[in-house]
Structure formats: C-alpha cells, structure tokens
C-alpha cells in the first residue's frame, strides 16, 4: 500500500547561534498519513563522513554512527519510543572525496497526538563526539472537507525506481533526503517531493493550478513554474526540480501552491532553504526602493557605524551573508545590505516597526551594561553572546565565592531543546566569564568542566 505523506519541517524562529560544533549531524523529519488513527513519522539524518573516526576492523577501514531516537507524548508525559540505531560503513580513505555524507531515514507508526522528539547522533567509534536536537511534532489526521497538500520534503536526488527495498523508496520514486536544506555549488538543483490529497472531493473545477515558487528574502519570486493537474484521482504525487546555478546566495522560501479558481481557494506549502553560490552576484540587491533605504536609520550612518552595526549582528548572520558583507566596499552598498538584512528578519511587516531588531539591540545594550569587562564590551563576552541569542535564562545559579573552585555560573534554558545548560567560569580572575561547557547543540561540550575550575 502506498503511504500518503504529509511532510513537515520545523522552522524555529528566534536567534541562531554562530558557534561551530566540531561534530554535527543534520536532522530533518516528515510525517506521513497512515490510517484513521495513526501517522507514520520518518526521521532523516546525515553524518558528515570526514567527521567520523576511521578505525580498522577485519582488515578494512570503517566508520561507525550511532543514533538514539526518543518520542514523548506531551498529553501524558509518557515515553512511547526510545531506540538506539547503529551502523558501520566501509570506507576507502584514498578514494574518499572529503565531502561525502552518510544519509538515511527511519520510520515509526505513531498514534495521533502531540509529541516531543529528541534525537542524538554520535560517532560510534568516539562517543564523546555528540550532536542533539529536540522539537515538538504533531501527528494528526488530514482535513476531510477539502483538498490538501503536504509540506515539502527537500531532496538531493529524485528518480523513478522500482526498488521497493530501498529505505528511500516512495510511491515509485527513490527520494534521497537533504536534511541540511543547503543547496548551491555542491547541489545545484533543488529536488522536492510533495503529495496532494482529496482532489476528488467537492469538485468545482476539473483542474487545479499548481505553481512551484522560489521566493527570496525580499518576498520576490525569482522562480515561478505553473502547471495544471487533473482531479480525476483522490491523491497524486507532485515532484519538482529547480536549477539554482544562477541564483545568488541567501535564505529562500520554496513554496508550492494549489488553486481552485471556481471555489476561490488556494492552499500553500512552503519550506525554508539555504543557497550558497559565492560566485553569483546578487543583482537584485539594488532593486530596493531608494526612499526605503534613505528613510531608514542606516542613511545617516558613517561607514564605521555601518561596520559596527553588522559586527554586532554576526550572531544571527548566515555564512553567505558574512561572505557577502566582506565583499562590500561602498557605504551605499552597505546601507542597502543592512536595510535588507533586518527587513528580512521582520516578523510582522504590518506594524511599521521591526520588533525582532528592537529586541536584538535591547539585548545588545543590556549585555553591554551587565557584562562589559576591561578588555571587551559586554556583547563580545560569552555571557553576552548567549543572552543576545537565547534571551533570559529560566534559572541562573551563581557561585562567586567558592573555596575550592573559581567563580562560575550555570544558566538553564528550559525552553530550548527540551532543556539545556550553559556553564561560565571566571578563569582569569578579571570578571570575564568564559563558556566552558554546554549541552546546547552546536556549543562547547565538556563533561569534565569541573576540573577546569578546581583550585586544588
């Protein structure tokens, strides 16, 4: 039986840390309709092969991966799934390309409900290398009163296939997921997979208009592909491919719309993606209204002030944005860039105020007031950075005058990844608290951090 798929990708709004992890696993997930009481949850993962320790086993070079998947029912707080998965792959170190990822998926039948999913990936040969993520997911039934469309599953490759034994097989296609959501020079084509349901319900128009759209951060459609599909069957598979070799770097929205013109009904599905094409110039950057830029606060800034504005914004800047900024030499280009940078992060364009930017710079000012040291401003300190990115901790434990340890603080954030901690210590004695340990994904992890602050 073909599974009917509803793909969901969680986009977590807020401040994103720029800290780099020495070990990272890309995770994504999808939920699939299964029957009247349950859904099918599919987890996608990708280990970056060069990050995994190569060991010798039976005269072969191998790498090992480890995954733990937990699923907790939020209604009754019961853990309905807690499973470990291990895999071993033979590698040829001489032929390895150096950028290969080990990608796979795992599927589970889950009753309708609200869940917390917790994923842990480790190097199977060095369990100190760890990456974790948690997110809430709803497993729910399809709306029965109208046609509907799945969210979008991003893929690095889609091809027709009759290999039903493949873990990537889906309704006559082999769909290789792309959990990183990143495309560009290494992946010049965005492949995506969706499904549509209840097409034969309450038909007013025998055809639906489908559009594949790629929308930039200025809400401009840089790619638009329309088509018509028949409503003779209840459900159909919709796959697409968009070549992005000439699309400049940046954050984009991949969208799919379906319209019944006679019922005046349009439904959408969308997903954020990342394009990195450093050799492609962003010619559209100059299309912003001059009056918009001239009426902004950036119009009166000196070049030094413009540089300072972007410096304090690097905690939330993407890698392509940092690369693009480094190429700018003219003040007008920097003003346009900053105007567009903050406009793209405005969570509510109807208010006339950019609440996101206001909150960000409020945190900058608060950090400068609270954490500035002799050597650096507060926003440059570790405590300042964490506060700017994640906001007010749920709890802070302070230990300024311990006999056997240097001064340290433990910050707890209950709202992040199911609960994380950050540990800061004044190692130098100049009130500059350094981050020495965190359970947050992508931050410094050191389970033996107490040894660093011991005075014995």
pLDDT, one tens digit per residue, over 289-321 is: 444 555 467 877 888 888 988 999 989 888 888
Q: What is the pLDDT of residue 350?
A: 66
Using DSSP bridges, classify how beta strands 153-160 and 173-177 pair: parallel, antiparallel or unpaired.
Answer: antiparallel
State the average pLDDT over residues 263-290.
72
Q: What is the pLDDT of residue 211?
A: 93
Beta-strand (E) ranges in 281-392?
none
Question: Would you say residue 121 has pLDDT above 50?
Answer: yes
pLDDT, one tens digit per residue, over 74-115 is: 999 999 999 999 988 887 765 554 557 788 889 999 999 999
- List the domain boundaries for the chain: 1-141, 145-280, 287-453
Give 55: exposed, middle or buried? Use CB within 10 Å, 0-12, 13-18, 19+.
middle
Question: Would you say residue 259 has pLDDT above 70?
Answer: yes
State the average pLDDT over residues 237-255.
90
Q: What is the pLDDT of residue 352?
A: 67
Q: What is the pLDDT of residue 453?
A: 92
| HSE-CB of 251 using CA atoms within 13 angstroms | 18
Find the helix or strand (DSSP H, E) in which 368 lies.
helix 355-371
The residue behind tokens 């954030």 is 413
Percent of the chain exceeding pLDDT 70 equals: 89
The answer to whether 390 and 413 are in contact (CB under 8 A) is: yes
DSSP reduced 3-state for 341? helix
Q: What is the pLDDT of residue 455?
A: 83
Q: End-to-end distance of the chain based on CA atoms, in angstroms?
A: 66
Vertex 266: Cα angle to 263 and 267 (nearest 5): 135
CATH entry, 145-280, from 3.40.30.10, 3.40.50.300, 2.60.40.3880, 1.10.8.60: 2.60.40.3880
Find the helix or strand (DSSP H, E) in which 402 lies.
none
Rounded Cα distance between 80 and 66, Å, is: 20
Rounded Cα distance between 21 and 16, Å, is: 13
CA 396 to chain centroid: 28
Q: What is the pLDDT of residue 70?
A: 94
Are 1-141 and 145-280 in the same CATH fold?
Answer: yes
Q: What is the CATH number assigned to the segment(s) 1-141?
A: 2.60.40.10
Percent of the chain exceeding pLDDT 90 equals: 32
Rounded Cα distance between 326 and 322, Å, is: 6
Tell if the pTM clears 0.75, that is, is over it.
no
Residue with more model confidence, 423 or 4: 423
Residue with more model confidence, 345 or 421: 421
State the average pLDDT over residues 430-450.
90
Radius of gyration of the chain (CA): 24
Question: Would you say residue 13 has pLDDT above 50?
Answer: no
Q: What is the pLDDT of residue 9?
A: 33
Q: What is the pLDDT of residue 15?
A: 45
Q: What is the pLDDT of residue 97?
A: 47
The DSSP bridge partners found for residue 82 are 70
Query: Across the chain, how many H-helices and E-strands are there?
Result: 7, 24
> Over the chain, what is the mean pLDDT?
84
The answer to whether 196 and 179 are in contact (CB under 8 A) is: no
Residue with more model confidence, 439 or 23: 439
Q: In what order do the strands lie in the sheet with 408-413?
A: 395-399, 408-413, 420-425, 434-438
Residue with more model confidence, 292 or 63: 63
DSSP reduced 3-state for 251? strand
The answer to whether 29 and 116 are in contact (CB under 8 A) is: no
State the average pLDDT over residues 335-340.
87
pLDDT band at 16 (very low <50, low <70, confident <90, very high): very low
Question: Would you say residue 372 has pLDDT above 70?
Answer: yes
Q: Please spell the DSSP secondary structure of 373-400, one letter per residue.
A: -SSS-GGGSHHHHHHHHH-S-SEEEEES
pLDDT band at 20 (very low <50, low <70, confident <90, very high): very low
Most confident of 15-29, 95-109, 285-299, 423-437: 423-437
Residue with more model confidence, 8 or 410: 410
Question: Would you say residue 10 has pLDDT above 70?
Answer: no
Vertex 394: Cα angle to 364 and 139 (nearest 5): 105
Rounded Cα distance between 436 and 442, Å, is: 13
pLDDT, one tens digit per residue, over 142-186 is: 887 788 888 889 999 999 999 999 989 999 999 999 998 889 888
């Amino acid at each position: 039986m073909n599974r009917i798929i509803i793909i969901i990708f969680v986009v977590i709004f807020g401040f994103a840390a720029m800290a780099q992890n020495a070990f990272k696993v890309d995770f994504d997930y999808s939920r699939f309709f299964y029957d009247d009481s349950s859904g099918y949850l599919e987890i996608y993962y990708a280990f970056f092969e060069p990050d995994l320790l190569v060991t010798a086993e039976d005269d072969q070079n191998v790498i090992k991966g480890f995954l733990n998947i937990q699923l907790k029912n939020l209604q009754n707080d019961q853990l309905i799934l807690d499973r470990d998965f291990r895999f071993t792959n033979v590698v040829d170190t001489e032929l390895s390309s150096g950028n290969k990822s080990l990608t796979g998926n795992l599927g589970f039948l889950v009753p309708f409900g609200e869940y917390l999913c917790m994923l842990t990936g480790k190097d199977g040969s060095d369990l100190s290398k760890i990456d974790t993520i948690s997110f809430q997911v709803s497993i729910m039934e399809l709306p029965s009163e109208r046609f509907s469309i799945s969210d979008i599953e991003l893929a690095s490759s889609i091809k027709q296939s009759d290999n039903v034994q493949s873990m990537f097989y889906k309704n006559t296609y082999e769909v290789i997921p792309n959990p990183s959501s990143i495309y560009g020079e290494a992946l010049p084509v965005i492949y995506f997979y969706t499904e549509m349901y209840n097409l034969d319900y309450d038909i007013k128009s025998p055809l639906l208009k489908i559009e594949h759209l790629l929308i930039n951060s200025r809400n401009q459609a840089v790619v638009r592909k329309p088509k018509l599909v028949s409503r003779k069957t209840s459900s159909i598979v919709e796959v697409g491919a968009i070549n992005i070799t000439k699309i400049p770097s940046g954050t984009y929205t991949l969208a799919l719309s379906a319209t019944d013109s006679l019922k005046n009904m349009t439904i959408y599905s969308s997903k954020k993606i990342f394009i990195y094409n450093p050799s492609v110039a962003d010619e559209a950057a100059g299309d912003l209204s001059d009056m918009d830029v001239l009426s902004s606060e950036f119009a009166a800034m000196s070049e030094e002030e413009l540089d300072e504005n972007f410096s304090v914004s690097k905690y939330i800047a993407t890698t392509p944005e940092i690369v693009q900024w480094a190429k700018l030499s003219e003040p007008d280009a920097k003003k346009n860039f900053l105007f567009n940078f903050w406009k793209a992060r405005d969570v509510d364009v109807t208010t006339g105020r950019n609440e996101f930017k206001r909150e960000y710079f409020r945190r900058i000012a608060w950090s400068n007031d609270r954490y500035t040291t002799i050597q650096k401003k507060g926003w440059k300190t570790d405590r300042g950075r964490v506060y700017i990115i994640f906001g007010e901790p749920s709890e802070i434990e302070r230990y300024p005058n311990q006999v056997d340890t240097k001064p340290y603080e433990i910050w707890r954030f209950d709202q992040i990844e199911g609960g994380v901690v950050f540990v800061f210590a004044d190692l130098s004695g100049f009130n500059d608290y350094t981050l020495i340990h965190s359970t947050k994904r992508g931050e410094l992890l050191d389970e033996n951090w107490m040894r660093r602050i011991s005075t014995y």
